[in-house]
Structure 1
């Protein structure tokens, strides 16, 4: 199904670029039930990139596992869906410069001023998700010095934090950031740097003419503050990238 992004043409006869995304990666891309349009952080980034790079978008949705193959085979010109840049993927598609630093972050109650980094969680109880990289990271870096409580779902651990059953939550950065901006607004806050950093990029068919204009657009957005505005809209205050933990 084709979904227009509502990008107005800046000049006549602009080229239309075929794009694909995953419709269920909240809050990067998701269907707005009222408008029937795709919205989210990635969608705002793509709209702005397209406007600055000089192309229109014909957007389709598909399961995530079909996205890279679609770009690789030329069935789509680009894909944006919280796609982690990896060496294996770079062998078959071209990636833009990174536009999002993901990883793991700490969520605490809004009134908690004692936690600024992972080491501050020693002696505390920490909620995380069963089988997640965040659970493994906590076990490796805090071990027996904190009470690590795994929960079956993210909603469970957020409920535990809001109810005072745990002192903090440690989980995927976009997920905790979105919770802090929505259900947890005024009650929870994200603190500290990113841990276990990963980077997302826009995937293009190999040799795409739109790769360089996209990179220039992303650089300009970061320089003039547009990127920070979009980030704050969906996740809250942008992390201090100088303190990003890899």
Structure 2
């Protein structure tokens, strides 16, 4: 009769053998499944794929329960070449979309999905389907924006232009003030009542400032000081003319361009974008006051309702809104920055990636891709 310790070892060995056999069977089933998918695509069989997407015009548009847009038409063309049926699964934002692919609720995802290094660590991407980047959208002249005279006046007082000109004026005042002080303080009827530097220099500076801004209230007595006074009055006329022209030009440009004209102007401003997007990451790094919205439509409505000062999002999406629903209400400012590429997302190691890339290359070669692009974005 076997000893108890021998029976225990036999049972443990049997359990290990069963575990190893079960693992091999599971790996085999996975390989068979992937092989069947690959074989069915290669041999013309029909495969049903779940494709995650999100509503982000013009990449994906939903109207009366039907999806359209650049990404949808492009995938339909790819799916036609792969001879597969598509079941679209609409997600609220890019975070949910990527989560669906990562946890097997979708076979792939296509929309406005930027290829980033962090996402490359979690997923596989197709070849780029579009070049993109971020841009800034602000309210347009037709938007219902009430002017704020007090705010505009304060902006004028603390503008860089005014501070620069005040610095120049101070420098110009100090030079003639010292000349007048040196030659007038010893004159019997001079305009400087004290021979001491303080307070004599203050009287000279007051005279120089008054002459620069308007006209001298009294003329110096010394002949050298009078020559300085005449030259200084002429300088004052030129200075006021140049300052007025510069201030008018600055105010005009500010009215045309607005307070936000590029990425540097976003610091400290309330700026909106969608939740989980690359734009949200960029805005946090740029130290803007970031407000994240679930839907793109909510984002645009927040801009028009003055809840935010600007929208930072993908350039193709902003251009589409500017020329369609937002015509006259919003405008794009500045050039494209933080350039990115859109791609189709797959789980790591997916066999679909190779076939999708092959189909995508074929669509580029036969000009199908170009036709779809021009349909939604016009000719490049």
What's the TM-score, normalizing by structure 2? 0.41
Alignment of 1:1-246 (within 5 A): 13-22=45-54, 24-33=55-64, 36-64=65-93, 65-104=95-134, 124-125=257-258, 130-131=270-271, 154=300, 172-179=314-321, 181-182=323-324, 194-238=336-380
Check the 8 A contact 1:181/1:235 in 2, yes or no.
no
> Shift of the alpha carbon at 1:74?
1.6
Structure 1 unpaired stretches of 5+: 1-8, 108-121, 141-151, 159-168, 239-246
Q: By percentage of residues, which structure has more helix?
A: 2
* Secondary structure, aligned partner of 2:271: coil
**In terms of Rg, which structure is larger?**
2
In the TM superposition, residue 181 of structure 1 has moved relative to its aligned partner by 4.9
Task: Tell whether the 8 Å contact from 2:131 to 2:342 is kept in structure 1 after alignment.
Answer: yes
Shift of the alpha carbon at 1:81? 2.2
Cα distance change of structure 1 residues 208 and 193 upon mapping to structure 2, 3 Å threshold: same
CA distance in 2, matches of 1:192, 1:235: 19
- Within 2, Cα distance between the matches of 1:20 and 1:83? 11
Structure 1 residue 234: deviation in Å? Answer: 1.6
The answer to which of 229-238 and 197-206 deviates more is 229-238
- State how far apart, in whole Å, the 2-side matches of 1:100 and 1:28 are: 10
Q: Over the residues paired in the alignment, what is the CA RMSD in angstroms?
A: 3.9
Deviation beyond 4 Å, 4+ runs, structure 1: 122-130, 152-158, 188-194
Residue 243 of structure 1: aligned partner: none
Task: Assess, with a 3 A threshold, how the Cα gap between structure 1 residues 218 and 80 changes in structure 2: closer, same or farther.
Answer: same
Asked if structure 2 preserves the Cα contact closer than 8 Å seen for 1:18 and 1:77, the reply is yes
Q: If each structure's strand is expressed as a fraction of its own residues, which one has the higher value?
A: 1
